[in-house]
Structure 1
Amino acid sequence: MDFITFPLIAIMSIFGLGLYTGYDSVVFDPISAPKWAQEQGYSPRVLTRQLTDEIRAVRMGAGSRLRSIDLGNEDKDESLAEIGEYFEIQVLVNAARKYVGVVKMTISGELYDIDDDHVMLRIRITDRAGKVRANQFTGTRAEVPALLRQAGFETVKAVDPYIAALYVRSTEQKGGSTDFAKTLEMIEYCFAAMPATEQPLIYNLWGRTLFLQKKYEEAINIFGRAIEIDPTLSLPYLNIGQSLNRLERPIEALDMLAVAARIEPNAVLIREERATSYEALGRRDDAITELSIATEMSPDSANLHARLGRLLMAAGRTDEASSALRHALRLAPTDRSISGDLEKAMKPRQT
C-alpha cells in the first residue's frame, strides 16, 4: 500500500465517511446549503452526516450477512467534509482519485432554493470512469429530512443494488406483504444493474423471496439457477435444504445441506437446518449433536440454547436440558417461553 492510499483509507476509517462495498471506497464531498438552511442547523457537515445516517439505516435494515456498506467508525460524529475544511484531507482524497484509483464512487451534492418555500436536493454519484448519475428530490423547506431519506435509499441503490433490494424486501416483509411486488421490481433492477458475476446472489434473493411466500418448489428451481452459475456459493444449497424441509422431504434436504456444509463447515444455520431434518426423521440424538455444535459456534444465541434444551427435555435428559435452558434464560431473561420450559425441565428433580 503506497503513501497516498494509506492516509485516505485510514482517514475515512477514523472519521466515518468512507463506505466500503467489499471492493472499493466511496467518499463524500460536502453537500452545500443556502444561508437560511445553515442558520437552521443544516450546515454542509450536518447534511452530509445525515445522508450517511440514512444510508446506514438502509444498510442495517437490509440485514445482509454477505456484504454491507461500511461507514467506518459509527461512533464518530465528524464528517469528511468538515475535517477536510480544517486539515485539507480533501487534497489526499483528490490525489487518490487521480493517481491511485482506489475510489470507486464519489458522492456530492447541494441543497438549493427553487422559490421562497421549496427546495431541491441534488445528489451526484461519480464513478471511477467519471460517469455521473444525478438524482433530484424536491419538497418544502420543512421536508428536508424526508428528502435526505429518499436520497439515502437512492444512493444505496446506486452503490449496491443488492443491499437496496434486501432493504425493500425487509420493509415489505415487516409490512405484511404477500406479493412482494416492490422487491420483485428491485430484483429485476439488480439483474440489469449488477455484473453477471453477481447473478447468483440475485437468484438467491429471488429464491428467498419465493420462500417467504411459501412457494417452495418455485424457490428450489430459482436456487438451482444460482448453483448452475456458481456451484461454490453455499447459500443456495442451504436454502434448497430449508425448502425441502418445509416440503417434508428431510432426506433430500440432508443431501443438499451436506454440500452446503462442505463449502462452509462453520455455518451455524446449516447445523441448525440439519437438526430440523434429523428431527423430522426421528433421529433425535443426531439433532442434539447438530444443535450442540451450533451452540458452540454461536454461544450467545438464546434461541439455539433454548431449542437444544427443549430437544434434550424431549429425550428425557432433564439435567442437560435444564443447563441449556438456564443458559438460554441468561441470554434472554425476559423470554417467558424459556422460563416456562425451564420449570418443566426441573419438575422431575423436585418430586
Structure 2
Amino acid sequence: MAAPTNTSYISSQLRHLIYYNLDNDLIGNALFLSGRLHAVEPRSPDAIHLLALSHLRLGRLKAAYDYTRDKAVRGIHLGCAYVFAQACLGLERYGDGIAALERSRGLWGARNHWNKHSETQRKHIPDAAVVNCLLGKLWRAHGDVKKAVEYYVACLKLNPFMWDAFLELCDTGAVLKTENIFKMTPEMQAYLGSTENSKNGYEGLLPEEHLPSEVNNIMTPSNDLFNPSSRPNIEVRPDVGGSFSFSRLTGGVPSSNTHSLEAETPTSNLINQDDDVMMGDAAPAPSQRYGDSEPPQAPIRKTRTLQTFVSEHGLEAPKMRPISTRGRLKASSESNDAEPARTQPLAHNHKRTISGHVAQPSTSANNDPTAAPQRRSVRLFNQIRPSASKTSIPTISRDPEPKERREIKKVRATGTKGRSAASTVGRVVSGNRNPREGAERDIKEARPPSVVPPAMVLPTVQKSQPHIPEVSLEKEALHWLLDLFVKLGSGYFFLGRYQCQQAINAYMSIPASQRETPWVLAQLGKAHYERSAYTEAGEVFTRVRKIEPSRMEDMEIYSTVLWHLKNDMELAYLSHELIDADRLSPQAWCTIGNSFSLQREHDQAVKCFKRATQLDPKFAYAFTLQGHEHIANEEYDKALFAYRCAISADNRHYNGWYGLGRCYERLGKYDIAEKHYKSASQINPTNAVLVVCIGVVFEKMNKARQALVNYSHACELDPLSALARFKKARVLMALRHSTEALIELKVLKDIAPDEANVHFMLGRLYKLMNEKALAIRHFTVAINLDPKAAQYIKEAMESMDDEDDGYDDGTGS
C-alpha cells in the first residue's frame, strides 16, 4: 500500500489516538501509537515528545532520556525539555535537566495554565509554575538548597495551589508565612475582574495597569512572600517568573510577547491539531516543520463583526462605506469609552425613519462629511412597506430631536449592562428602528427580508443579563480553598519545625469533613508522636487505618508508636496486613522490622530494615531504625554507617544526627557526641530528649553547671518530662542545692509515683538533709517497687551515718 502524499491528516489522527490512550491511562497503546507517529514524522519534535512521554509514564527513564536529549539540549521544544528533565531527576543527572530547562526558558517563562484544565480542556505542555517546581526539585537533589528555595518560591508565586512545591519548600527548612503564600495572585484577581467585565458587556481584556508586571514576579529581598527580612542574600534572578498570557486566561486576544498561541484540546479528528503541542517548540514555519505536509489551517476567529453576523442570517449588509467601516471597528472595541463613541455619531447623523428619510440632523450633523444619501434598498423597501399592517407603522414624531436623545440614552444604558450593545449598534447602523419598538413589532407582524429576525433578539436579551452571582460564587470558592490551604500549610509548616501543639491546633481548625481524611489524620498522628503522646497517636492512626486500609504512607511511624506502646499483637497484625497489601513497600518492611525488634530479635529486624532501604534508597527512617538495632547489638561501626546513610538521604533527619551522637557517647567520644546532639537539636529545637542528651554529655565531661542549664531548658520544653527532672535533681544534689533538688523530686514523684529511682533519690536527699526517718521511708518504698535493686538500696540504708558527698545513685541510670 502506497503512503499518501499528504501525511498531515494521518499525523493528526494519530495524535488524537495517542492523547485518547494517555488520558485513559492506556500507556502501552500510547507507546505503540507514538511509534507509528514517529515513523510518519521522524524529525517532528512533537512526535518525539509523545514517544518519550509514553516511555516516561511506563517508568523507562533511560529511553525517555535518549529520545529527548537532542531536542532538549538545543532548547527548541518545551515538551521534550520537560520530559528530559523528569528523566534526569530519576536518573540522578540533575545538571543535564537543569541546563535543558534553562535553555528552553523562552518557551515556558510566559506560560500560565491556571484555570485552563477541565473535563473538556487539556494543556499538554507545562507552564512556568510547573517548570519552576521541577527546577526546584532538581536543584535540591543537586545539593543547592538555596537555588531550590528560589524556584519553589517562584512556583508558588505563580500558582499557590502547587502543593508539591510547598511541601518541598517546608522540607528544606525555609522560614515562611503560609498566609503570604496561599492568597489571591494577580492572575486570579485579573481573572475574576475580567469575568465581571465580560458579564457587563466587555470582551474581557484587562486594562494595562491591572496586568502584573514582570518585576512583581521576581524574588527580591523586598518582595519575598515568605520571609522579607531574613533572606537578604538571595540571588536576584530577573528571569525567574516573568509575565504571562493574562488575556488568554480571560478569553481575550493573546498578548504579543507570548511565543505561541495556546489552544484547547481539539475535538475534531482530522483538520484541527493540538496547538498546545504543536507550539511546544520554537515554532518554525509549517512548511519547514514537516517535509511534504500541508500547513495547518488558521484558527477560526471568535470575533464576529456586524457584516458576518448579518450575512449568516441571510441579510444584506449596509453599503454605506464610511459608516460600515467605522461601525465594524467600533463594534470590536472593548474599552469603556467605546460605547458612547460608537453610538453618538450614528444616532445623530444617520438615524433613519421608517420611511427611509434621514431624521433632522443636529447642529453637529451638518459638519459631518460622512452623511450618505438615501440608499436604493431603502427606496425599494418603502415601495413594499405600505402592504404591511397599519398597526405596525409607528407615528412619526414632529419633534425628532428629543426622540433621538431618548434613543441615545437607551443605547447607552443597554451598552453598559450587557453585550447587547453591539447588536443595538448594528440595528442603528443598518437603518432599523428603536430596539424596544422593534422587539414588540417583531412578535406582531411578518418581517421583510431586510429586517433582523427574532432569532437575533432572544440571545441578545439573554446576554444582556449580568451574571454577577456566578462571579461572586467563584470568588467565594477561591477564598475558601485558599483559606483551607492556609490551615493545611500552617499545620505542615509547624510540624516540619516540630512545633507540635501549634500544628495540632492548625489541623483541628480545619472543617470536620476535611479533617477526617487520611492525610490530615496522619499528620495529626505524627504530631502526637513527636510530642511523645503515643496513646493519642495510636488512636489517630487507628482511624486512618479504618478510613484507608491500603494506605502505606506514614505507617512506619504508626509501627514505631505501637513499639513504644509495647503492643506486640497489634504490631504483628499491622505488619501482616501491610505486607499482604504491597510486598514492595518499604513501610511494610519497616513495620515487620519493628515487630522483630519488639521481640528482641535484632538480627531479623536488621534484615527487614535493610530490605526497606533496598526498595527505597532515600528512605532515611529505615536507615535510622537499622542503626538502632546495631546499637542494641553493640555493633557501633555498622550503626555509624547506617546513621550516616540516613543523613545522606535526608540532611534534616534529626534522628540520624541523634543516632550518631548516641554512638559516639557509647564509644566515650563525648565532644563529638555533643556536636551531633546539638545538630539534632537545631533541627528539632522543641525535643526535650535531645536537650537532655546534651546535658548528659556535659555531665559526663564533669561540666555540671552546663548540664544543669540544659536540664532546666528541657524541663521548660516539657514540664512533664520525668527524665529531664530526674537528671536535673541529680545535678542539683551534686551541686549541694538540696532545697531546689527536693522541689524537683516532689514534682517528679507526682509525675511518676511508681518509679523506684525517684524514691531512692528522695531517700538519698533526705539522708543528706539529716532527715533519717523520711530517708528510711523512701528507701523502703524503693525496695518494694524494685526488688532487683535491693542490694544497692540496703547499702545506702546501712551507710546512713556516713557522709555522702556524691550524687551517683549507684544504679547507673
Per the normalisation by structure 1, the TM-score is 0.57
* In 2, Cα distance between equivalents of 1:273 and 1:126: 35
- Asked if structure 2 preserves the Cα contact closer than 8 Å seen for 1:187 and 1:202, the reply is yes
* In 2, Cα distance between equivalents of 1:208 and 1:288: 28
SS of equivalent to 1:188: helix
Aligned to 1:259: 679
* In 1, Cα distance between equivalents of 2:629 and 2:638: 10
Residues 1-351 of structure 1 mapped to structure 2, 5 A cutoff: 10-11=512-513, 19-20=518-519, 107=549, 125=550, 152-157=574-579, 158=581, 164-177=588-601, 179-181=602-604, 183-194=605-616, 196=617, 198-350=618-770
Structure 1 counterpart of 2:646, one-letter code: A
- Asked if structure 2 preserves the Cα contact closer than 8 Å seen for 1:303 and 1:328, the reply is no
SS of equivalent to 1:180: helix
* In 1, Cα distance between equivalents of 2:515 and 2:758: 41
Q: Deviations over 1:199-246 (max 9, x none)?
A: 222222211221221111221122112222322222211110111001
Q: Report the alpha carbon displacement of residue 289 of structure 1 after superposing the two structures with TM.
A: 1.1
Q: Report the alpha carbon displacement of residue 13 of structure 1 after superposing the two structures with TM.
A: 5.0
- Asked if structure 1 preserves the Cα contact closer than 8 Å seen for 2:661 and 2:677, the reply is yes
* In 2, Cα distance between equivalents of 1:248 and 1:126: 42
Structure 2 counterpart of 1:277, one-letter code: V
Over the aligned positions, Cα root-mean-square deviation in angstroms equals: 4.2
Runs of 4 or more, structure 1, over 4 Å off, are 11-14, 21-24, 63-66, 68-76, 148-151, 157-167
Q: Report the alpha carbon displacement of residue 174 of structure 1 after superposing the two structures with TM.
A: 3.7
150 and 293 in structure 1: CA distance in 2 versus 1, 3 angstrom threshold: closer
Structure 1 counterpart of 2:750, one-letter code: R
Structure 1 counterpart of 2:767, one-letter code: K
SS of equivalent to 2:576: helix
Q: Deviations over 1:181-209 (max 9, x none)?
A: 1x233223323444x5x422222221122
Length, aligned pairs only: 243
- Asked if structure 1 preserves the Cα contact closer than 8 Å seen for 2:610 and 2:626, the reply is no
22 and 215 in structure 1: CA distance in 2 versus 1, 3 angstrom threshold: farther
Q: Report the alpha carbon displacement of residue 163 of structure 1 after superposing the two structures with TM.
A: 5.2
Structure 2 counterpart of 1:175, one-letter code: Q
* In 2, Cα distance between equivalents of 1:312 and 1:173: 36
Structure 1 counterpart of 2:648, one-letter code: E
73 and 223 in structure 1: CA distance in 2 versus 1, 3 angstrom threshold: closer
286 and 347 in structure 1: CA distance in 2 versus 1, 3 angstrom threshold: same
Per the normalisation by structure 2, the TM-score is 0.26
Q: Report the alpha carbon displacement of residue 328 of structure 1 after superposing the two structures with TM.
A: 0.8
Structure having greater relative contact order (Cα 8 Å, sep ≥ 6): 1
* In 1, Cα distance between equivalents of 2:629 and 2:613: 15
Structure 2 counterpart of 1:185, one-letter code: K
Q: What runs of 5+ residues in structure 2 fail to find an aligned partner?
A: 1-479, 486-510, 553-569, 772-813
Q: Report the alpha carbon displacement of residue 75 of structure 1 after superposing the two structures with TM.
A: 9.8
Q: Deviations over 1:123-152 (max 9, x none)?
A: xx599xxxxxxxxxxxxxxxxxxxx99764
- Asked if structure 2 preserves the Cα contact closer than 8 Å seen for 1:288 and 1:312, the reply is yes
- Asked if structure 2 preserves the Cα contact closer than 8 Å seen for 1:309 and 1:325, the reply is yes
- Asked if structure 1 preserves the Cα contact closer than 8 Å seen for 2:571 and 2:595, the reply is no
Q: What runs of 5+ residues in structure 1 fail to find an aligned partner?
A: 25-55, 81-105, 108-124, 128-147
- Which structure is larger by alpha-carbon Rg, 1 or 2? 2
* In 2, Cα distance between equivalents of 1:150 and 1:302: 30
* In 1, Cα distance between equivalents of 2:571 and 2:594: 16
Q: Report the alpha carbon displacement of residue 170 of structure 1 after superposing the two structures with TM.
A: 4.1
* In 2, Cα distance between equivalents of 1:305 and 1:245: 21
Structure 2 counterpart of 1:240, one-letter code: L
* In 1, Cα distance between equivalents of 2:513 and 2:620: 34
Q: Report the alpha carbon displacement of residue 253 of structure 1 after superposing the two structures with TM.
A: 0.8
265 and 75 in structure 1: CA distance in 2 versus 1, 3 angstrom threshold: closer
SS of equivalent to 1:300: coil
314 and 167 in structure 1: CA distance in 2 versus 1, 3 angstrom threshold: farther
Specify which structure has the higher proportion of strand: 1
